[in-house]
Amino acid sequence: MKQFLFTSLLLSFFLSFSQIPQLTENTEISIITIGPGNLLNDSFGHNGFRVKNDFQDIVYDYGRYNFNDPNFYTNFAKGKLKYLMGAANTKDVLSFYKQQNRTIKEQILNLNQQQKENLLSYLADNYKPENRPYLYDFFYDNCATKMRDVSENILNGNIKYNTPKVYKKETFRELIQNNLYWNSWGSFGIDIALGSVIDRIATPREYMFLPENIFQFFEVATFKDSKTPIVKSSHIIYAQKGYFAKGSFFTSPIFILSLISLFILFITYKNKKNNKRSKWLDTIIFTVTGIVGLLLLLLWFATDHTATAQNYNLLWACPISLIAIFQIFKKRPKQWFISYLKLLVIMLCLMTLHWFIGVQVYAYALIPILIALCIRYVFLIWFFTKKSAR
C-alpha cells in the first residue's frame, strides 16, 4: 500500500504532462486496484483514480513520499512523515505493475457530468503543492481509504456500502496477515511491532483500509437515492501469472528461532548437569530482550503510530532487563534479581493467557523462543536460590 518502490521511472513522468484533470463529454473515471506484489511493502496492493478522455489518461493516487525530505527516517520512525498525492500516465503505471506481475483491475464509476466535475475539481485542488502532503495512517488514511473518503466527499455521502460475499468478521491483524505468508520475516516483524489495538474486529467500513476490499465493497455499492450501482462496469486489465515464491524454509523465522531455542536449551542442560552457569548466554538473552523491549516501548509511547500501542510483547521483551543485566556478572546477585526472574516467568505465563483469551495474538515463530526463555529463567531461579541457601 505504501509505495516504497514507485521508482524514479514513474516519478520522472510527474512533470511530463498536465496533471490538471480536464472534463469532456467522454471522460471516464474509474478506480484502479493493484494486487499484492512480491515484497513486503507491496503485499497489500494499491489503489488510484484513473481519469481517461481524448486528451488525458492519468492515474491519481495517494501514499507516495520523497526520500529526500529532511529528517525522512526520523519522521518515518516517529509516524510523522508527510505522504503525498501523486499523478502519472496510466500507460506507465500499468507497464510498471505488469513488470512486477501484479494483477490490475478497473472499476468504471457510474457518475454523471456534475459528479465527474466535482471529482476532477477535488483532484485538481488536492494536487496543488500546498495540498499534496498529508499525514499517513496505515489503517485510517492510506491509498485505499482515500478512494472511499474522496468518493463520499464528492457525492455528499450518497453511497450505500452493501456487504460483499467475501466479508467476514476479522480483526485488523487477521486482515493484514491474510496478505502475508505466516512463516515470513515480514509477518513476524509485524506481529512483534504492532500492539493489541489491532486485535479487535474491524467494522465493514474499516475493512476498506485494504485495496482489494475497496474493490469488493465498491463492486456492490449503490447510490442511496436511486439504488443504482456505483460501478458501471469492471474488468481485469492484467492477471498475475503464477505465484510469488515464499522463500526457503531454512531461512524462515520458525527454523532460525527454533535453532536458537535448541541452542539455549542445550546450554541450559549442560549448565544444569555441570552445576555451572554460562554468563555469556544470559548476557546475550538479557541484552537482546531488553533492547527489543525498549524499541517496543518507544514505538508505543514516543511515536504517533496508532497501531503500535498496547503491545504486550513487552511481557517477554522487558526493557528492565537492560538494568538487571549487571546482576548477571555477580556470583551472588541481589535478592531483587531473583524476584525479577520469577516475574519474567509469571509474565510469560500471562502472555500465554493473553494469547488464549484473545487480548493479543503473537507471532507463532515466537513459541520456541518463549519455551526456551521460560526454561532458562527457571534454571537461573533454581541456580541462584541454591547458591543463596549455602
Look up residue 275 and give its three cell numbers.
Answer: 552445576
pLDDT of residue 6: 42
pLDDT of residue 92: 96
Is residue 208 within 8 A of residue 219, CB to CB? The reply is: no
Using 50 as the pLDDT threshold, list the residues of the chain that sit under it: 1-17
Q: Which among 237, 239, 178, 240 is positioned nearest to 207, based on CA atoms?
A: 178
pLDDT of residue 41: 82
Determine the Cα–Cα distance for residues 380 and 218; give it in Å rounded to an integer: 58
Determine the Cα–Cα distance for residues 318 and 321; give it in Å rounded to an integer: 6
Look up residue 387 and give its three cell numbers.
Answer: 547458591
* Single-letter amino acid, residue 157: G
The distance from CA 338 to its chain's CA centroid, rounded to whole angstroms, is: 38
Sign of the alpha-carbon torsion through 364, 141, 39, 239: positive
List the chain domain ranges.
Answer: 8-167+204-238, 249-389
| Torsion, Cα of 370, 372, 373, 379 (10° steps) | 150
pLDDT of residue 63: 85
| Residues 230-277 pLDDT 10s | 999 999 999 999 988 888 999 999 999 999 999 999 999 999 999 999
pLDDT of residue 227: 93
pLDDT of residue 79: 76
pLDDT of residue 386: 84
As a whole number, the mean pLDDT across the chain is 91
Q: Which among 78, 136, 82 is positioned nearest to 300, based on CA atoms?
A: 78
The residue to which cell 525530505 is assigned: 69
Q: Where are the beta strands (DSSP E) in the chain?
A: 28-34, 46-52, 57-64, 82-89, 104-109, 133-135, 231-238
Give 347's contacts (C-beta < 8 A, 6+ positions apart).
315, 316, 318
3-state secondary structure of 63: strand
